[in-house]
Amino acid sequence: MIRLAPIPAGLPATVPFVGPETLERQSGRPFAARLGANENGFGPSPRAVAAMQAAVGEVWKYGDPTSFDLTQALAAHHGVRPENIIVGEGIDGLLGLLVRLTVAPGDVVVTSDGAYPTFNFHVTGFGGALDKVPYHKDAEDPQALLDRARKTGARLVYLANPDNPMGSWHEGAVIEAMLDRMPADCLLVLDEAYAEFAPAGAIPTIAPDDPRVIRMRTFSKAYGMAGARVGYAIGHPDLIAAFDRVRNHFGMNRISQIGALAALADRDWLAQIVARVAAARDRIAALGAENQLTALPSATNFVALDTHRDGAFARRLVDALAGQGVFVRMPGVAPLNRCIRVSCAPGAELDILAEALPRALSAL
């Protein structure tokens, strides 16, 4: 018989997200509009595509285990030292490494009920104890997170700004004040996956050597490279150096490293993407209003549409849209799950949504 170690032996088999490919296999047909995974359907920089294509012939080489060139470029981009940067296999991979580094079995980790479930997956996978606080007015609640962290002696506090799945955000000053009230020996995990889409005021001013926080960024969203799996973290050099104790030193794909370096340098393309996403947010909000759904304010590349019903209704709507070839998702926890979440996308896919949404609502 297969014998598992004690922690995984006590866990259920869990898939945080059912991928659209799985749903397509189950239905026997592809989605006509892929609007559920918060991918950037506008695509990566053409310069990044060209750089990756040129690198294919050297895929026989391992990626640079230090991600040296990309680390140097990211440090220059953010005005920090290379010692403040760690590159990894997306934010998901870095979150797993961070939990492994900092959370012993039984240690408490505080997050929001309904926030990013993959982080929770890592915490339970390493034996941590999750303690959750509710959202407040469809946004994560910094004060409630702090209060719970003090009460439980938490090792980590997770906060996404801007937030997934609601698209809400806090001003940077709120995050800065939160840091000043963090309990001793507690680290703020600040997930900034959607930072490029956020208003300038939402990005806090934090010294790169601040030991109270680690900031997570990605090339999956604004840079349109979700499939390349490139993320990075900014933090105190001692914490960043500790990743070398546990990380997969050959985990970074060589082609992805080269593509991310080219994408980072193409500022004009990034500006175009931010503008296109903003226009798509407006259109999704308008489509919602035409169908008696209310768009929540969003600083991301998706829009949460309030159905004004409950989670059961929203689930039926998600399924009805899937039946018409439109892939969307919904938050998993009440009262957030009254909404459906629609990713920004090119006009042709939103045209499909515009036709499918009233039909789906009518069918319900």
> Which domains are delineated in the chain?
18-43+268-363 (3.90.1150.10), 46-265 (3.40.640.10)
pLDDT tens for residues 242-256?
999 999 999 999 999
Split at pLDDT 50, 70, 90, the class of 1 is confident
Split at pLDDT 50, 70, 90, the class of 15 is confident
List of residues 6+ apart from 141 with CB closer than 8 A: 112, 133, 134, 135
Examine the pLDDT at 127 and tell me if it is beyond 80.
yes
List of residues 6+ apart from 144 with CB closer than 8 A: 133, 134, 136
Residue tagged 């969307």 (tokens): 328
Split at pLDDT 50, 70, 90, the class of 17 is confident
Q: How far is CA 259 from the centre of its chain?
A: 20
The predicted pLDDT at position 46 comes to: 98
Q: At what angle do helices 172-180 and 142-152 cross, to 10 degrees?
A: 20
Average pLDDT rounded to a whole number, residues 133-156: 98
Split at pLDDT 50, 70, 90, the class of 229 is very high
Examine the pLDDT at 199 and tell me if it is beyond 90.
yes
Examine the pLDDT at 132 and tell me if it is beyond 80.
yes
Average pLDDT rounded to a whole number, residues 105-109: 97
Examine the pLDDT at 356 and tell me if it is beyond 90.
yes
Distance CA 45, CA 180 (A): 38
Calculate the average pLDDT of the chain: 97
- Centre a 10 Å sphere on the Cβ of residue 340 and count the other Cβ atoms it contains: 27
Examine the pLDDT at 109 and tell me if it is beyond 80.
yes
For residue 285, which of 306, 265, 266, 268 has the smallest C-alpha distance?
A: 306
The predicted pLDDT at position 16 comes to: 79
Query: DSSP class of residue 252?
Result: S
pLDDT tens for residues 298-343?
999 999 999 999 999 999 999 999 999 999 999 999 999 999 999 9
Percent of residues, the chain, with pLDDT higher than 70? 100
pLDDT tens for residues 254-301?
999 999 999 999 999 999 999 999 999 999 999 999 999 999 999 999
Q: Is 97 helix (H, G, I), strand (E, B) or coil?
A: helix
